[in-house]
Amino acid sequence: MTDVGLLWKTRLFGIMVRSLSVHRWQFFHLRNISAQTCRHQSTAASLPSQARVVVCGGGAIGVSVAYQLTLAGWNDVVILDQNSVIGASTLLSAGIIRRLAPSFLQTKIAEYSNECFDNLVKQGYDIGLHRSGSVHLAKTPDRQIDLKRQHSIAIAAGYESQLLTPEDLHKKFPYIHTADLYGALWVPMDGFIDPEATYKAVLKIAQEKGVRIVEGCQVTNVGLEKLYVKDVDTSLGKINCEYFVNCSGLWAREVGKLSSRKIRTPLHPCEHQYLVTHPVFPKEDKDYPIVFDLDNQMYMRAQRRGVLCGGFAANTKVAFPVQIPKDFTNKTLPEDWDSFQGLLGSLLKRIPSVHGAEPLKLVNGPVAFTPDGRAIVGEAPEVRNYYIAAGLNCKGTTAALGLAKLVVDRMTTGKTEFESWELDPRRFLDMHNNRDYIKSRIRETSQWVFGLNYPFRDETSRSARKVRTSSLYSPFKAAGAVFGQFMGYERPLFFVTEQMNALPDMDFFPSTFGKPSWHSAVEQEYNACRYSTGLIDLSSFSKFEVKGEGAMEYLQYLCSNDVDVPVGAIVHTGMHNERGGYENDCTVVRLGPSTFLLVAPTIQQTRCKKWLIRQRPANSNVVIDDVTSAYTVINIIGPLARDLMSHFHDMSPAAFPFFTCQTINVVNASNILAMNVTHTGEMGWVLYIPNEYALYVYEQLLKFGKDYNLTLAGHFAMRTLRIERFYAFWGQDIDSTTTPYECGRAFRVKFEKGDFIGRKALLEQQTAGVTRSYVQLLLDEHDMNNDPWPWGGEPIYCNDRFAGKTTTTGYGYTLNKQICLGTVKNIDPATKEELRITPEWIQSSRFEVEIAGKRFPAKVNVRSPRLPAVVPFEHPEVAKYATTQDDQAGVKKFVTKMAGEM
């Protein structure tokens, strides 16, 4: 143990010897962890025989779900808790409330939770709410850029915030050491609550509206009937129900196993410690802001004039490595001064006055984290009417009410106000629920609570890598590939060039908010794809075989485009919900009269399969097989792709038209499914290769590709190609709230074919028009070498008013500009009403994109830009490549004109 840790531990022991009983009373009065208090308002009711909704877990999130259900008019709700409601995880929370969050959705969740806190106060409840404000400190230049980005988002969202210099910060809060800082962000409406008082109030309101509580009741099985929730077996008996909500906190993964169909709930607890000291500040707690010393992984706030300081050690410890004890309730873990000493040293440096303080308690409690650091909120893909609200990643007490609203909205109305995909349980595969995988990941994701939110942080995470790879991982690695993981699948991002400086491990390239180290490498790969030939690995894309009697009619009902096409034809189409939003954006290939191959984005593997299964009619003969792992997929792309591929097959336009597929041989390898299509708008073929042939086919392509400057390219190059072409990707640019009319894909919707899911909503929108539009913005006056780059989420301004945010961004190597894709709205400044958007309004308006506090003027496009042609348009079907256009007639006119000019 270090001298600092030993000194404070000695102090603590001395204090406890002198006045152990007094201090215990002070601490436990502060947190009220006692059976009597935890059973506040408990009726100790016997288990009812029936309820509409059973909520498993009576912590902050479980109580919040029950409360939100009553606001929605669902009062027949029972909360089951294996011990007592409002347990230690809630009571031991620091109670910090924040408005800023790393994403739009999480910001909205925080906003709603804050509104709920204010409403509780208005109703007369004393929840210990104090808007003391918060300061976020920047010790590094990158952290300062990140704070500027957050400030831009806060102002756009209507939140008050202020950037402070170190001098400003010292004047405002002289007790904070500022000599090592670049600056700070002041958020005056942040603050803290008393978690116990807050959720007692929430519970009381819920009980008054009919919610029942059964404590000391352990769930043993969730009964199913035809994959719907039927009932719940408990240690006290059976309860019939229509809905089940897993709010079991630390035990949520184990509860997920308590049904015949196991529910993926990937989470596990880490240790989280905080220190409470005796009084050190002369004023009341509300007079001192919360301090987020982000680069030291630490937070602190005043607590009864003392300091409450917590965070995550550099090497976060996994709690309960083997199994979580069933009786671990209202308990803490052993204090670990050795682990806490780094945070303690940072505290003493940041708040020098704490040197003289006497410690009251070091609290060590388990906090559940997920493999990607985001909560699990929504309906389970495995079972209908089974919902999850767990894995809150240290944000439970302050975000519970907002997260609960997402669950309840989905449960009671079938939709949410905002797209909630980033928290959806369907984002996981079985590998994510592997306990060893989870434990490996949460050591890293727990550090993200205060870590810098660099671009591609998820993709370039360091833990649990090389688990899921294509057949070509090793040769790609040998060729200099730098990989990123998507759904756990390793994909080349780019390939190291000779000009790049050698790094110890190029799998983890330097992170930055500015010009990235891989810029020149991606430029070479992009140029190969645009002007000669590139090879890109697409093996990670989700792939499903849909076959059997009625397969065509089934897909016709799911798809908005017409998939009743000749065998061998390829169709790009959306699959929509009843509101017309994209549940899936996919490619459908007709392999036979009743056999189709469906290709979807990598992140949709679970989501797409569950959507297909749930829309399949009862007693249907249609079979759905996930064949994602059966193929290695190579994209040969570029103007010389036809010449290269002609070594293996007749690739002339007459013999192999655009948007068709054929089975070909590549020298000695057979049964290669070749598709004349790309996902970026360039000429090319995608080869679906049975895995046993993959290495051989790859080697043959390299051999024959030497004459065509065949260059290995990664997904960064592919990303740049599609951004420059104005191609939207699901999950990045469009989602379940986006319709074809809002993103320029109405030409893919074929109303004349008959009924399909979402048809009614799309017909109504066709008449009414849209109030938001997907656009491409080309930035002017941006210095690519010195200015921070856009990375997504930047505010878009129209005529000096906030109009939307960017989605995906990239540098356009042909257009020689930063390019931002995003969605904009025309909001009336007086009424705040969203007005109908017209092309005239867009073209006559002045647009800007704000990056880290600086606005850049932007030219706006609503159609795919006209890039210099490399090869002639040899076939009229090339019109189908123009995926972001207003109408098919306009596309054909453009193609005809281009062909005539060439």
Question: What gap in Å lies between CA 540 and CA 429, rounded to an integer?
Answer: 13
Taking a C-beta distance cutoff of 8 angstroms, is the pair 536, 635 a contact? yes
pLDDT band per the 50, 70, 90 thresholds, residue 17? very low
pLDDT band per the 50, 70, 90 thresholds, residue 65? very high
Average pLDDT over residues 803-829: 96
Q: How open is the CA angle 895-822-107, to the nearest 5 degrees?
A: 160
Taking a C-beta distance cutoff of 8 angstroms, is the pair 246, 255 a contact? yes
Burial class (CB in 10 A: 0-12, 13-18, 19+), 784: middle
* Per-residue pLDDT at 395: 86
In sequence order, which ranges of 209-317 are alpha helices (DSSP H)? 252-255
pTM of the model: 0.92
What is the CATH number that goes with domain 454-538+630-730?
3.30.1360.120
List Cα–Cα distances, 486 to 339, 603, 714, in angstroms. 32, 7, 13
Q: At what angle do helices 104-122 and 195-208 cross, to 10 degrees?
A: 70
Cα 737 to chain centroid, rounded: 15
* Per-residue pLDDT at 45: 63
Taking a C-beta distance cutoff of 8 angstroms, is the pair 347, 177 a contact? no
> Per-residue DSSP letters for 103-147?
SHHHHHHHHHHHHHHHHHHHTT-----B---EEEEE-SHHHHHHH
Q: For the beta carbon of residue 670, count every other beta carbon within 10 angstroms.
A: 11
* Per-residue pLDDT at 501: 55
* Phi, psi of 210, deg, nearest 5: 115, -5
Question: What gap in Å lies between CA 858 and CA 397, rounded to an integer?
Answer: 41
* Per-residue pLDDT at 87: 79
* Per-residue pLDDT at 891: 40
Q: How open is the CA angle 554-555-556, to the nearest 5 degrees?
A: 90
Taking a C-beta distance cutoff of 8 angstroms, is the pair 837, 856 a contact? no
Two structure tokens written together for 22: 């007094």
Question: What gap in Å lies between CA 418 and CA 398, rounded to an integer?
Answer: 19
**Residue-averaged pLDDT of the chain:** 90
Q: Which residues contact 407 (CB under 8 A, 6 or more apart)?
A: 65, 68, 245, 377, 378, 387, 388, 389
- In the predicted model, is pLDDT for residue 418 greater than 70? yes
- In the predicted model, is pLDDT for residue 681 greater than 70? yes
Tell which wins on pLDDT, 875 or 103. Answer: 103
Positions of CATH 3.50.50.60 in the chain: 50-90+196-265+372-430
Average pLDDT over residues 359-371: 93
Average pLDDT over residues 539-548: 98
Q: Count Cβ neighbours within 10 Å for each residue of 372-382 and write b for 16 or more, e otherwise.
A: bbbbbbbbbbb
* Per-residue pLDDT at 14: 45
Which residue, among 614, 53, 819, 608, has the nearest Cα to 385 in the 3D structure?
Answer: 53
Question: What gap in Å lies between CA 527 and CA 814, rounded to an integer?
Answer: 9
Positions of CATH 3.30.1360.120 in the chain: 454-538+630-730
**H and E: helices and strands count for the chain:** 22, 39
pLDDT band per the 50, 70, 90 thresholds, residue 892? very low
pLDDT band per the 50, 70, 90 thresholds, residue 711? very high
Fold entry, domain 50-90+196-265+372-430: FAD/NAD(P)-binding domain (3.50.50)
Taking a C-beta distance cutoff of 8 angstroms, is the pair 551, 631 a contact? no
Q: Over the stretch 170-195, which tens digit does the pLDDT of each residue have?
A: 999 999 999 999 999 999 999 999 99
Two structure tokens written together for 90: 């809630």
- In the predicted model, is pLDDT for residue 353 greater than 90? no
Tell which wins on pLDDT, 89 or 403. Answer: 403
Average pLDDT over residues 625-644: 97
3-state secondary structure of 273: strand
- In the predicted model, is pLDDT for residue 435 greater than 80? yes
Tell which wins on pLDDT, 550 or 898. Answer: 550
With residue 379 as reference, give the H or E element that holds it.
strand 376-379
Question: What gap in Å lies between CA 744 and CA 797, rounded to an integer?
Answer: 21
Bridge partners, residue 586, by sequence: 573
- In the predicted model, is pLDDT for residue 3 greater than 70? no
Tell which wins on pLDDT, 120 or 329. Answer: 120
Q: Strand pairing of 631-637 and 684-690?
A: antiparallel
> Per-residue DSSP letters for 502-533?
P-S-TTSPPP-SSS-TTHHHHHHHHHHHHHSE
| % of residues, the chain, pLDDT over 90 | 80
Count of residues making up the chain = 902
Average pLDDT over residues 571-589: 97
The amino acid present at 591, given as its one-letter code, is L
The amino acid present at 133, given as its one-letter code, is G
3-state secondary structure of 300: strand
Two structure tokens written together for 849: 């994109």
Residue 263: DSSP 8-state: -
Alpha-carbon torsion, ordered 873, 876, 882, 883, to 10 deg: -150
Taking a C-beta distance cutoff of 8 angstroms, is the pair 724, 717 a contact? no
Q: Which residues contact 24 (CB under 8 A, 6 or more apart)?
A: none
Taking a C-beta distance cutoff of 8 angstroms, is the pair 272, 310 a contact? yes
> For the ranges 386-390, 510-514, 643-647, which has the lowest average pLDDT?
510-514
Residue 797: DSSP 8-state: E
The amino acid present at 105, given as its one-letter code, is L
* Per-residue pLDDT at 8: 55
Candidate CATH numbers 3.20.20.10, 3.30.70.1400, 3.40.1390.10, 2.40.50.100; the one for domain 542-627+739-756: 3.30.70.1400
Average pLDDT over residues 860-885: 62
The amino acid present at 895, given as its one-letter code, is V
Two structure tokens written together for 508: 């983890």
Tell which wins on pLDDT, 509 or 773. Answer: 773
> For the ranges 300-304, 405-409, 586-590, 685-689, which has the lowest average pLDDT?
300-304
Q: Tell the residue number behind the tokens 């400190």, with chain if given.
A: 137
3-state secondary structure of 212: strand
Question: What gap in Å lies between CA 313 and CA 271, rounded to an integer?
Answer: 9
* Per-residue pLDDT at 19: 38
* Per-residue pLDDT at 10: 53
Which residue, among 450, 239, 268, 483, has the nearest Cα to 376 in the 3D structure?
Answer: 268
Average pLDDT over residues 379-390: 98
* Per-residue pLDDT at 883: 43
* Per-residue pLDDT at 4: 54
> Per-residue DSSP letters for 617-671?
PTT---EEEE-GGGEEEEEEESTTHHHHHTTTS---TTTS-TTBEEEEEETTEEE
- In the predicted model, is pLDDT for residue 877 greater than 70? no
Can you give the three-state secondary structure of 812-877, one letter per residue?
ECCCCEEEEEEEEEEECCCCCCEECCCHHHHHHCCEEEEECCEEEEEEEECCCCCCCCCCCCCCHH
Question: What gap in Å lies between CA 41 and CA 768, rounded to an integer?
Answer: 51
Average pLDDT over residues 26-40: 39
Q: Over the stretch 213-247, which tens digit does the pLDDT of each residue have?
A: 999 999 999 999 999 999 999 999 999 999 999 99
| % of residues, the chain, pLDDT over 70 | 90
pLDDT band per the 50, 70, 90 thresholds, residue 315? confident
> For the ranges 281-285, 474-478, 848-852, which has the lowest average pLDDT?
281-285
Which residue, among 413, 120, 74, has the nearest Cα to 212 in the 3D structure?
Answer: 74
Which residue, among 680, 676, 669, has the nearest Cα to 642 in the 3D structure?
Answer: 676
Average pLDDT over residues 834-856: 95
